Structure 1
Amino acid sequence: MAYKILVVFLILVLGSISLVSQSSFDVSTHEIKLINVHKNTAVIDVHNLIVGQSGIVVHKTDNRSLIISHAIVTSILNNKSILTLYDLDNLKQNALPIPNLKPQIGDIFVLNHMYHSSLLIVPNFETFQKIKDLYPKQIFFNPDIFASNLKIINTPLPKIQDIKKFCISYDIGTVFIVISNKLYILDSHSFKILNVSELDLLDTTTQSPFFTKVIDIKKEFWDFGEDKIRNYNKYYKNLIKDIK
């Protein structure tokens, strides 16, 4: 009897530890020097990262710092992280001058850049409040603005590219999506899943395309596809399940 009680106790403790570790995903920024650069690839001497995490590359001079590239962790090799370097599409969106500099050894990779700013996609108001309570330090972008954007472009069923483009336009670093009582945290640039945690939710109602006050998001008149999300959980599960 005592043995059974001990087993149950250990299961409960280990289960609670798992849930705590999942919900405490670190969104803080970290500055790491580039130790090698070749064309559109760079290397940093850190290995405990998640493939799909992203950030910016900063070139520092005596009196200023310049953002010169965007970077995504694409693999871990020999206890080092390999980064793929990308143009600064977010700066292009804002019509700002782009520095004519390429990343080089010694430049700084700022990991988790803008991760504190998130787009929140949830099925109902209760879930909306739950996530905000669980992550009080996170800055959640108003979902009505994203919904208004979808309404303008006549897109009642948001695709990955719609979400990524919106996030780039508003400097949003992470996407929080709740699907079937699970919270998925994704990088807004790579759209890779960074963390998954269980949620205890009582309200199972869903709203299309997600919780928002914006209504009547219509498709183009020539579009013969679906005019709304009919199964919220199935739609978003399919959206993220085969991310390459």
Structure 2
Amino acid sequence: MPVTWRDLLDIFLVALLLYTLYRLMVGTRALNLVRGVLVYLLVWFIASLLGLSTLSWLLGNAATLGAFALIVVFQPELRAFLERLGRGQRFSSGPLALEELLLGLSRLSEKRRGALIALERRTPLGEYAVSGEILDARLSARLLETLFYPGTPLHDGGAILRGERLFAAGCVFPISESQIGLGTRHRAALGLSEVSDALVIVVSEETGAIRVAEGGRLSPPLSLEALRERLKGVARA
């Protein structure tokens, strides 16, 4: 039977869909979930092919229960995945907002004041914003310094930038379980980056080092110039 243009279009669209799904999951623990499911299905298929009835029965019944368990355990990842498929708002920083952000981070780093700042992109961060205080204020270096001044009510939480506005502060971010040896701020930065496409900046109160979490990965300490280029790339994306 000859291959028609519809067959080619069908193959192309399926490949595009699979690639898009992969890009949405890469860098998150959802990708490891998919790999585990594929291995499970492969073992199940081989057991059925070889006529191993007991093993096939066990795997088949476990699959039904496992599907419900995975929905519960990976509920944050599933929610973030669906949000990424929908429309959202990117971080769109103008020159003034970018320089104010960098100036504030520079001062926080020099004074070794811990800070945690999330840049909202496609995935809405409203559910984390309501855990803190909604500000919706113009972003400025002095405002960042004030928010993260030790002893103030909001300094221990995270801040959320939405566009050129400081949308919320004192927010609670999910804590990552992948890097137990890190401090709470760094694990919170990783945790939020695992369940959303946010770029999260964290300043260490011990060393003043500035690092970025994105896609479940934490960068090495960045210079201000390296951070500027990273943020420009986010603004252009």
TM range (shorter): under 0.3
Larger Rg, first or second structure (1 or 2): 2
Task: Identify the structure with the greater strand proportion.
Answer: 1
Q: TM-score, normalised by structure 1?
A: 0.26
Q: TM-score, normalised by structure 2?
A: 0.27
Task: Identify the structure with the greater helix proportion.
Answer: 2
